């Protein structure tokens, strides 16, 4: 398979007609994967060997639906497509023959006249829009599907404004010489890239951007700022039906979600927070010189021209917001002593560092999504993965990974019972003491989320799913089982003073306080119990005193 066309659809009356149009006009080894997001298609989708249907009785969101379709694809290229589009004959072959791996490619865009309203009484015809009475005689109207790609407008140049909203940019056409030309942005209705690039750049970010909205700006910025190109081919076209009148002809997802997405988008791009960027947004603005950005360009010229890292190192802090408040506050205050950038990722809003909220139930997949979201938000070279219930000594952060493709674990960590202060040490690699090069961690956790989502869907979250997660493991690079996320290795270091892993009732994983609980005793190397911890003092019977001293 060369191309998979991904169609997320929610209450889309023209989905069948769109699929029929694609089947009629595609000429390559192309398939269609459509996700019915919350409602079965009406009219029904045609049965065809090149069409795969996924159905959800409850909506999961447009981006999530698109991602689900992409995960089913094995093609070299994927193309996200709205459920109300028409196409040029051979559009798929014409696009693929010129495609380059670091491009996002779109055809020239026309407007689709999908239907007209025709009065049953007087025959009056009016252009597609909201249903109602005949404006001439007040009679009942019926919808007449015409499916015409209008010759004008013929769009090849697009941009976004200071609010990151899509804008047509006809004036830029004078700079577009040739059959394949650059565009600053695009409409999110139809675009194509390699399947590898789709996942590498997370082009449908359902965690930060949410269900829908800002698709064109997201794809444009991620393509350009990662070092790729956003191109338009004039050799073919697609036609898109615009629906802006509300009522029975409005948008399929609630508009409040769009406002939230736009605010996230503005913060992400205007403040250069996307972690995979090779260039700042100012680079893109200078390249295209769009209107409305004059004051922004003046501001950027007074600052450094490249992305400024706030620190060589950064911290990803994850919490489920269920931790005892006293322990949480103490751990946060202790973590702040590191004096490096912190991104906190929580399940509820949190006033700590730069906060990202993942509005999903507590669980393995949610935790992995939290870790990935934090990594995407930071721009530091090296990242420390931190938990909400660990007291990190400042010396923990003095380490710098010497190799980019190795995971490093600080093994100087004691486990302390919150209620008694009993302390236990043994050498171990724990994910809450993990440090590595940011790009290495990004790739790992993106893949981890992808694998976990696939297995959750396949195994329906049962006991077999939990066994798989345990075999996959939580510590990158520490085992060679076939379920591992990648094949990279790990190493370890010992900070000058230890960290304290606080053991309490809400821990996701339990601590084994007896060596007899270990089937393999090699995992208990260095075993010792104590009443005190170097650098922290006596813990037994007075752990509350240590916490109070921090707060």
Per-residue pLDDT band at 246 (split at 50, 70, 90): low
pLDDT at position 302: 47
Q: Which strand (E) or helix (H) includes residue 409?
A: strand 406-410
Buried b or exposed e, range 204-241, using 16+ CB within 10 angstroms: bbbbbbbbbbbbbbbbbbbbbbbebebbbbebbbbbbb
- For 118-142, the pLDDT digits (tens) are 999 999 999 988 888 999 999 999 9
pLDDT at position 375: 95
CATH number of 313-550: 3.90.550
- For 341-384, the pLDDT digits (tens) are 999 999 999 999 999 999 999 999 999 999 999 999 998 999 99
- For 66-116, the pLDDT digits (tens) are 999 999 999 999 999 999 999 999 999 999 999 999 999 999 999 999 999
Q: What is the DSSP letter of 119?
A: E
Angle CA 86–90–91, to nearest 5 = 55
Per-residue pLDDT band at 517 (split at 50, 70, 90): confident
- CA torsion sign for 36, 37, 38, 41 is negative
pLDDT at position 305: 35
Q: Where in the chain is the domain with CATH 3.90.550.10?
A: 3-107+160-270
- Give the rounded percent of residues in the chain with a pLDDT score beyond 90: 67
Strands 413-417 and 423-425, bridge-based pairing? antiparallel
pLDDT at position 306: 35
pLDDT at position 212: 80
pLDDT at position 45: 93
Residue pair 331/389 in contact (Cβ under 8 Å)? The answer is: yes
- For 407-439, the pLDDT digits (tens) are 999 999 999 999 999 999 998 899 999 999 999
- For 442-490, the pLDDT digits (tens) are 999 999 999 999 999 999 888 999 999 999 999 999 999 999 999 999 9
- Tracing tokens 């109602």 back to the chain, one arrives at 132
Span of 172-176, 399-403, 497-501, 504-508 with lowest mean pLDDT: 504-508
Residue pair 531/538 in contact (Cβ under 8 Å)? The answer is: yes
> Alpha helix (H) ranges present in 97-214?
195-200
pTM for the structure as a whole: 0.57
CATH number of 3-107+160-270: 3.90.550.10
Average pLDDT score, the chain: 90
């Amino acid at each position: 398979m060369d191309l998979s066309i991904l169609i997320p659809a929610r209450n889309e009356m023209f989905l069948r007609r769109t699929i029929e149009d694609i089947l009629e006009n595609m000429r390559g080894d192309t398939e269609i994967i459509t996700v019915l997001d919350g409602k079965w298609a009406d009219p029904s989708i045609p049965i065809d060997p090149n069409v795969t249907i996924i159905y959800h009785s409850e909506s999961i969101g447009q981006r999530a639906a698109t991602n689900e379709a992409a995960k089913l694809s094995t093609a070299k290229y994927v193309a996200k497509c709205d459920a109300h589009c028409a196409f040029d004959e051979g559009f798929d072959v014409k696009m693929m023959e010129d495609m380059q791996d670091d491009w996002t490619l779109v055809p020239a865009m026309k407007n689709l006249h999908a239907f007209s309203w025709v009065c049953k009484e007087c025959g009056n015809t009016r252009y597609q829009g909201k249903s109602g009475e005949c404006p001439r005689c007040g009679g009942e109207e019926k919808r007449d599907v015409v499916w015409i790609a209008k010759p004008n407008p013929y769009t090849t140049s697009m941009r976004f404004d200071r609010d990151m909203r899509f804008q047509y940019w006809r004036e830029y056409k004078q700079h577009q010489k040739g059959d394949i030309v650059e565009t600053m942005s695009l409409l999110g209705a139809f675009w194509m890239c390699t399947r590898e690039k789709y996942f590498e750049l997370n082009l449908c970010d359902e965690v930060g951007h949410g269900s829908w909205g800002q698709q064109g700006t997201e794809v444009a910025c991620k393509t350009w700022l990662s070092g790729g190109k956003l191109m338009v081919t004039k050799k073919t076209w697609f036609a898109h039906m615009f629906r802006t009148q509300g009522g029975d002809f409005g948008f399929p997802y609630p508009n409040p979600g769009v406002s939230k997405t736009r605010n996230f988008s503005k913060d992400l791009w205007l403040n250069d927070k996307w972690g995979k960027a090779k260039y700042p947004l100012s680079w893109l603005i200078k390249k295209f010189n769009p209107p409305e950005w004059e004051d922004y360009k003046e501001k950027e010229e007074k600052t450094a021209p490249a992305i400024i890292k706030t620190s060589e190192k950064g911290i990803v802090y994850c919490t489920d917001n269920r931790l005892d408040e006293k322990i949480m506050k103490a751990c946060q205050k202790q973590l702040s002593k590191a004096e490096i950038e912190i991104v906190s990722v929580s399940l509820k809003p949190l006033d700590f560092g730069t906060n990202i909220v993942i509005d999903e139930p507590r669980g393995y997949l949610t935790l992995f999504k939290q870790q990935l979201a934090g990594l995407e938000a930071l721009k530091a070279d090296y990242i420390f993965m931190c938990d909400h219930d660990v007291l990190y000594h400042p010396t923990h952060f003095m380490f710098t990974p010497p190799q980019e493709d190795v995971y490093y674990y600080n093994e100087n960590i004691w486990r302390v019972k919150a209620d008694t202060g009993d302390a236990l040490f043994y050498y171990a690699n724990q994910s809450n003491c993990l440090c590595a090069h940011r790009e290495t961690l990004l790739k790992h956790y993106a893949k981890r989320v992808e694998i976990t989502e696939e297995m959750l869907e396949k195994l329906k979250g049962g006991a077999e799913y939990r066994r798989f997660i345990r075999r996959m493991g939580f510590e990158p690079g520490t085992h060679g089982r076939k379920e591992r996320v990648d094949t990279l290795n790990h190493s370890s270091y010992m900070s000058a003073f230890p960290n304290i892993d606080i053991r309490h009732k809400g821990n996701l994983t339990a601590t084994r306080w007896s060596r007899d609980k270990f089937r393999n005793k090699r995992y208990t190397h260095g075993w010792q119990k104590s009443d005190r911890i170097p650098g922290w003092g006596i813990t037994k019977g007075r752990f509350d005193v240590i916490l109070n001293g921090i707060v």
